[in-house]
Amino acid sequence: MTEPCNIAAALPRLAAERPDQPAIRCPGRRSAGGGLAAYDVVLDYRTLDARSDAIAAGLARHGIGRGVRTVVMVRPSPEFFLLMFALFKAGAVPVLVDPGIDRRALKKCLDEAQAQAFVGIPLAHAARLVLGWAKSARILVTVGARWGWGGTTLAKIERDGAGGGPQLADTAPDDVAAILFTSGSTGVPKGVVYRHRHFVAQVAMMREAFGIEPGGVDLPTFPPFALFDPALGLTSVIPDMDPTRPASADPVRLHDAIWRFGATQLFGSPALMRVLADYGRPLPTLRRVTSAGAPVPPEVVEKIRTLLDDDAQFWTPYGATECLPVAVIEGRELQGTRAATEAGAGTCVGRPVPPNQVRIIAVDDAPVAEWSGVRELAPGEVGEITVAGPTATDSYFNRDTATAAAKIRETLAAEGSGAAAGERVVHRMGDVGYFDDQGRLWFCGRKSQRVEAADGPLYTEQVEPVFNVHPQVRRTALVGVGGRGTQRPVLCVELAAGTHVGEFPRIEAELRAIGARHRHTARIATFLPHPGFPVDIRHNAKIGREKLAAWAAPRLGDNA
């Protein structure tokens, strides 16, 4: 008998195979003096499976069953993982929204989801009442003490479901598994519809792409990624940090968790990688480090490589909430492309992960209904990146216009004949890039952030790395001021720590000299110092270039 298509289907199997292996560890916070302020909490595979069974049974008794959209606003904790796997087992549809996004955007996301249930910590419920979140939710569950808003608690739900036996809904591949909202860092947050087949395919592709074997210890500093660990047979150590502010993570606490639990792999944003790189302590237990969310600066890749053992791997996968993973590259190969990146080639993101089919099409801001209507580009030509594969999602929830803009239907012909064999969805990544003659994919930036100047387009990742080599520059951002086709390219410059803005005239002259050496960057004539770039709330790495463009425009005066 085949098991249901469900990411939680791995739990009963792993509970039988390795019942005593820790599945989730939540380390107790260490005090300033180094002592523990709280005890570690550990869930082994047997306990995670049994308790999530009880919660799934209790959820069903309280009306949260198959297909019920359920907002989850719970901090990374044992309860979060117990709850998420219980929801998957029940066949319910968890709705996850980044808690750090703008309050108005957060309310809009929750309204759009039309959730029937709301599960949250007391603070989330208080905000729900005060700010009018998720008014459609009629079933309320509190993780912690319940106050005056009604409903029940997760503890009671688990008690009510105790003794209910194994729980696993017979979910089909196309059944909706979850709605995951994008961060909105380069646009309005949108609810990505995940089907059960997408989660199952992600687990299989990550296992194959990164050579993951059961028994390892993972430190995932982005909580949703920790949900993959139990399905991969790993121990997931939840770090003592605010996951919405990875750039502010304490490297001492991260190192403490890595050493105490013998972490063999780590996932983190480029901002967190910079924290570890600047801290400079070796990471000898790690066999695999993965960073995603934005391009990792070349100097950070180089520093992290020096902190790892020679046989350890540093992967920088390319993808998005709508499709992950798309392509991967290991740090050694990425280091080999650094000179090209700093000469304006873009950022190499490696080769597509099988069985993905990645193709480059002509840049077009309009919706494209059918693949037959697109023009594919040859290697070396910059265009929009598209991907078709088992993890490519097919729609946004309640966002038909956004779905039409990002998805293309492709009719597939049966092999060896002209007869139609079905359809698939091709996802438009919203990024621009190209393939080189070695079959490697190069990322050149977001399509929406390209600069359309009178003498042709400019792409952020072919411009900024050229200038980022200056020792007194922390980072740069290319923006366009004016109307499409006649935009004025402007380079915003964030100076390195300790560099006074009074030094900018000299630095600007040096940047102009650097830019003059390369074809793309020689066209940049306007440089503006900025005190500190806005970045996304999820990874603290994606630059808010739209905000920078609005900031730059009035500073150009009549010359804009």
Model confidence pLDDT, tens digit, residues 251-288: 999 999 999 999 999 999 999 999 999 999 999 999 99
What is the pTM for the complete model shown?
0.92
Tell me, what's the pLDDT at 39?
Answer: 61
Give the pLDDT band (50/70/90) at residue 456.
very high
CA distance 117 to 94: 9
pLDDT given at position 413: 77
Asked if 274 and 247 count as a contact pair (C-beta separation under 8 A), the reply is yes
Q: What is the pLDDT of residues 24-43, one digit of tens each?
A: 998 865 544 444 445 688 99
Whether 462 shows a pLDDT value over 50: the answer reads yes
Q: What domains, with CATH codes, occur in the chain? A: 7-237 (3.40.50.12780), 346-445 (2.30.38.10), 455-559 (3.30.300.30)
Q: Is the pLDDT score of 51 beyond 90?
A: yes
Does residue 416 register a pLDDT over 90? no
Mean of the pLDDT values across residues 232-251? 90
Q: Which residue has the higher pLDDT, 33 or 147?
A: 147
On the question of pLDDT at 537 being above 80, the answer is no
pLDDT in tens, 321-365: 999 999 999 999 999 999 999 999 999 999 999 999 999 999 999
Task: Between 541 and 126, name the one with better pLDDT.
Answer: 126
Q: What is the DSSP letter of 219?
A: E
Residue 220 clears pLDDT 80, i.e. is over it: yes
Q: What per-residue confidence (pLDDT) applies to 150? A: 87
- What integer is the mean pLDDT of 231-257? 91
Given this model, what pLDDT does residue 186 score? 63
Q: How far apart are CA 185 and CA 166, in angstroms?
A: 40
Give the residue-averaged pLDDT of 228-251. 90
Tell which residue, 479, 482, 481, 530, has the closest CA to residue 508. 530
Residues 6+ apart with CB under 8 A from 383: 360, 361, 362, 363, 377, 432, 433, 434
**β 93-96/176-181 pair status:** parallel
- Least Cα distance to 124 among 138, 105, 111, 106 occurs for 106
Half-sphere exposure in the Cβ direction for 226 (13 Å, CA)? 26
pLDDT, tens digit, 9 for 90 and up, residues 358-406: 999 999 999 999 999 899 999 999 999 999 999 999 999 999 999 999 9
Whether the pLDDT of residue 519 is over 90: the answer is no
What's residue 37's pLDDT? 45
Is residue 443 predicted with pLDDT exceeding 90? Answer: yes
Checking if the pLDDT of 9 tops 70, the result is yes
Closest CA to 449 of 325, 548, 348, 302: 548
Judge whether residue 102 has pLDDT over 80. Answer: no
In percent, the amount of the chain with pLDDT more than 90 equals 81
Residue 217 has pLDDT above 90, yes or no: yes
The pLDDT of residue 243 is 83
In this structure, what DSSP letter does residue 372 have?
G
Residue-level pLDDT at 222: 82
Ramachandran area for residue 63 (φ above 0: left; ψ -120 to 50: alpha; else beta): left
Q: Which residue has the higher pLDDT, 2 or 462?
A: 462
- Rounded average pLDDT over 60-78: 95
Q: Which residue has the tokens 């078709």?
A: 388
Per-residue confidence band for 417, with pLDDT thresholds at 50, 70 and 90:
very low
Averaged pLDDT score across all residues of the chain: 92
